[in-house]
Chains A and B, each alone.
Chain A
Amino acid sequence: MKQTPEQSRMAVLIVEALNLEDVDPGAIDPNELMFGDEGLALDSIDALEIAVAIAEEFAVHFSAKEETTREAFATLGNLTDFVMKEVNGRM
């Protein structure tokens, strides 16, 4: 599935934050699971590093207390939607 421009930007941020040199950001399927044995096979430390990169880039902060956070980290599409919603909510 094709990435939106926002998803492409998020994909680049993830690949750079995690040093995923062997992953083409444009090849990440927005609907594919990113964590566990699937997709990019990321782990919780990766989630932390992605959160730090997103905080720096978008000033959006995650909380593990929020139910929506787990869902947000499931796929590239979810993560982009979550961050863009937060960013647009500020405007």
Chain B
Amino acid sequence: MAECEALSTAPLVDRSGEAPWAHAADRPIAVSRFARDALLCARNLPDRPWLINVCSDRYLFGVAFFAALLGGRVNLLPSQRSSEALNALRRRYPDSAIVADDTAAVPAPSSNSADPMPALPEIDTAQLAAIVFTSGSTGAPNPHPKTWGLLSDFRAIHWRRLTRALEEAGTPAGEVAMVSTVPPWHLYGLEWTLLLPSVAPVSMHCERAFFPKDVVDTLGSSSAPTVLVTTPTHLRALLKAPSPARPVSVTICATAPLDPNLAAQAERRLGTRILELYGCSEVGTLASRRPTEGTEWSFFDYFQLAFSEGGLTVRAPRLEASVDLDDRFERLADGRFRFLGRSTDIVKIGGKRESLTNLNAVLLEIPGVQDGVIFQPRRVRETSRRLAALVVAPDLAPLDIRRAMANRFDPAFVPRPIRIVEAVPRNRTGKMPLGKLTSMLDARAAPLDD
């Protein structure tokens, strides 16, 4: 991607106006219409440098996102959208305004004739396009700034990877329709669903695809070959739903390790080929693999990587600083990489990372908690990798602790079950062996449990 380094601007949209950008209510929305809506929205944006984009409609989220770029504003994308979380973000960015569906919605054109494609400016690659937030250990979410240059490079890299996957799936070249269970305000969804239609023959289905029936119906309704963007949790849920009316060309999966058995079952059920991604909020998608063909990861050439005992350091042309990750990899002879594990206490759930040390520190701060430990049990639940907790808190109920944790952390990190115990098992050195914690968790029927 050396050629990108020299460019100081990148087009906002690089597609022909009549191509489909999105599908809403089963009707295509042309690229020209999207461009017109983004330009109109840009004129209506609040006069603030920071825009908290909380549009819930997928199409309008995109309109507001691109409008902010046109207007030289920064999209603030919180992972939590509770009023408490939004108020905290507004206090942190006093010169910010909230942009919701009603701000982004612009009147439909009066005539039915196709909109001419308006001229869209190129955007400075150094412009800060978005700050994606993930839950923070000290209570305040962690900001991950993304420049337009980085996002623009990502859309080119991702489209190349997706093109290869589509070719391998035998999909004829041409338009593909994307259905996503992942919201566009999470980095994974932003990279793979929001940005691709701006440079590639990809159109996005904007109907909510959350419950299995929604996903299956939407996939079946598309006349173009489909790409599903999803997570292991959703894939597992889809196994229990009817098959879509038509096979899915490619399924992209990220946020948590995908069990190879689940991958194989999902490929059969959906008639698809799965492309699994590895990445982090600090950078974005870093690597991909075919989970039914092997466990080795191929990193994108775009990144300069340094591997060590302690983890992985990532550099890239558009990244201001290098990023250190706790994931350890082994380099194989063929240039691919085997994941070895994490070198610290970082847990990854639902695509988000959190430190167990921080979680435990917050647990012990809860009034009424005398001692306790949050940990990832040895045996994990079939559907998710929830944390568990053993807590010494004679006057509290597990629900009190769950609520107190939910106030401070992303719900993904709120432990469950939370077991009230008389004492936490420690060995002579004061350490808490994972095996003992897990067996204590499994030992039911202690009268203090409820």
Contact = CB atoms under 8 A, between A and B. Distances in A.
Contact of B449 (A22, A51, A63): A22
Given A43-B412, A63-B214, A65-B208, A19 B399 contact: no
A45 B213 contact: no
B343 interface: no
A20 B449 CA distance: 12
Contacts of A19: 381, 386, 416-417
User: Chain A, interface size: which category?
Assistant: 20 to 34
A74 interface: no
A65 B26 CA distance: 13
User: Chain B, interface size: which category?
Assistant: 35 or more
Contact of B237 (A42, A49, A69): A49
B416 A22 contact: yes
Contact of B450 (A24, A41, A42, A64): A24
Instruction: Identify whether the interface residues of A are mostly helix, strand, loop, or mixed.
Output: loop
Q: Which of A22, A52, A62, A64 has the most CB of B within 10 A?
A: A22
Given A21-B417, A48-B211, A49-B237, A37 B403 contact: yes
Contacts, number: 88
A55 B384 contact: no
A52 B240 contact: yes
Contact of A22 (B208, B234, B386, B398): B398
B208 A64 contact: yes
Interface string A18-60: 1111111000000000001110111111011101100110000
Q: Which of B234, B406, B416, B420 has the most CB of A within 10 A?
A: B416
Interface in B233-275: 233-234, 237, 240-241
Interface of A: 18-24, 36-38, 40-45, 47-49, 51-52, 55-56, 61-65, 69
Given A45-B384, A55-B213, A55-B241, 20 more contacts: A19-B381, A19-B416, A20-B417, A21-B419, A22-B417, A37-B84, A41-B414, A42-B411, A43-B412, A45-B350, A45-B411, A48-B210, A48-B211, A49-B383, A51-B211, A51-B237, A61-B211, A62-B211, A63-B217, A64-B209
17 contacts: A19-B416, A21-B416, A22-B418, A22-B449, A23-B399, A37-B403, A38-B403, A41-B411, A47-B210, A52-B212, A52-B240, A55-B240, A61-B212, A64-B209, A64-B210, A64-B214, A65-B208
